[in-house]
Amino acid sequence: KKRGFSKYTIQVRLSAVDAPEVSHFGKPAQPLSAEAKQLLANQVLNKRVTIVPLAKDQYGRVVATVTYRKFWGLIKQNASHEMLRQGMASLYTGGNAQYDGEKQLLERIQEDAKRAKRGIWGLKNMELPSEYKRRHK
């Protein structure tokens, strides 16, 4: 048995961010959804992460701040910050939004991405994930 691993799996939703929706339940994918999913996978897959649970969402997932280390463990990176910085997510403003005390910082990161037209902010006719979900209810 590997040290630190458990036979249990928990589903985690990144706090503070809303990424483009992938295709599911017969609904089409949003533009850049595959790229957003790949960015997150590149950040955390097969890496040791730290999860700070903040709440549970309506689907039973743990809403958490997720951090990981890069550059040989020298730099601690927040996954939500990076998703916003790259323009691969927008700030989540729905019910029970969790910002872990960083709402102003997260808003600044998103504004920088918007100004630079990174990711979803560079799309013509961009639709926020929250708008997409409301339209496809």
Residues designated as active site: 13, 21, 61
Exposure string for 36-57, b = 16+ CB within 10 A, e = fewer: beebbeebbeeeeeebeebeee
Q: Cβ neighbours of residue 110 under 8 Å, at least 6 residues apart?
A: 84, 90, 91
Q: Which residues contact 96 (CB under 8 A, 6 or more apart)?
A: 55, 57, 63
Number of H helices, E strands in the chain: 4, 6
